[in-house]
Amino acid sequence: MQRTQERRSSASDRLRWKIHLVIPALVSAGNRLIAHPQVRELYPEYMFTSHCVIRASVPLMEAGRAEAEARAKTDAVSAALAPYLAEHITEELHHDDWLLDDLEVVGRTRSEILARPPSPTAAALVGAQYYWIFHYHPVALLGHIAALEGHPPSPEMVDDLIAGTGYRRDAFRTMLAHAELDPGHRDELYEVVDSLPLTREHSAVMGLSAIHTVHMYARAIEEILDEYEDAA
C-alpha cells in the first residue's frame, strides 16, 4: 500500500458507485421476493437468511476493531477505524435478537432458528470479511457495512411486504427499524471513509468487499426464490 490517492473524486463517491454498479441484482431479487405469490412462506426463509448475516455484524466489527487496534500504532487508517467500529458496535448490538423476536411472530422459534445451519452462501457472504480483516486490512469491513446499510428497506417496501404476507406489523420491526436507522448510519460511515488517509489499495479492498456483499446477498435471496420456483 504505497501511494495515497489523488483526490479526483471522494473515496465515498467511488465506493458508492462501485456498489451502484452491482446493486440492481439485489434490488431485483428483493422485488421478486416481495411480489412472489408465496411471499408468506418465503418471508420467514428470508428472515432466517437475514438473521444469518445480522448475527455476525457485531462479532465482525469486534474482529475488525481488535485487528485495527493491533495495527493502530503504525497504521493511520487502522487508528481512525478502531474508534468508529467501537462506536458502531454499540449501535448494532442486539439487532439479531430483534430479528429473532420478529421470527417468533411468524411462528419460528428461537431455538429452531439458532439450531439451523446457515447456508454456504451466508457463510461466504460474511466469512470473506474475516479473511480480509485478518489477512489483508480491517478497512475492508467498511465496504461490507456500506453495502448493507447503504440501501435499507424503504417504509413502502415494508408496507408491501406486510400486505403481501398478511403477517402482523410486529413481524417487521427489524426491517422498519433499519429503514429508519440505516440512512443515518450510512451517512456517518461515508464521512468516516472520506476522513481516512486511504491508499488505492484500501479503496480497492473496500470496493471488493462491498461488491462481494451485494452479490452474495442477492444470491442468498435468489436461492430462497429458487426453492419456490414452481409457484412463481
Partner 1 sequence: MSQQDEPSAELRALALFAEAIANPATRRDFAGRSGELLDSVLGDDVGEDAKEAFRALFGDLTDEEVRLLARLQHTMVGLSEVHPDLVQTFNPTVSKF
List of residues contacting partner 1 (CB under 8 A): 5, 8-9, 13-14, 16-18, 20-30, 33-34, 46, 50, 53-54, 57, 92, 95, 144-145, 147-149, 151-154, 156-157, 174-175, 178-179, 182-183, 185, 200-201, 203-204, 207-208, 211-212, 214-215, 217-218, 221
What is the grid cell recorded at 163? Answer: 400486505
Nearer to partner 1, 82 or 206 (CB): 206
User: Closest distance between partner 1 and the C-beta of residue 185, in Å?
Assistant: 8
CA angle 224–183–218, rounded 5-degree value: 20
User: Closest distance between partner 1 and the C-beta of residue 48, in Å?
Assistant: 13
User: Closest distance between partner 1 and the C-beta of residue 73, in Å?
Assistant: 27
Nearer to partner 1, 70 or 170 (CB): 170
User: Closest distance between partner 1 and the C-beta of residue 194, in Å?
Assistant: 14
Nearer to partner 1, 75 or 96 (CB): 96
User: Closest distance between partner 1 and the C-beta of residue 101, in Å?
Assistant: 14
Nearer to partner 1, 65 or 144 (CB): 144
Nearer to partner 1, 72 or 204 (CB): 204
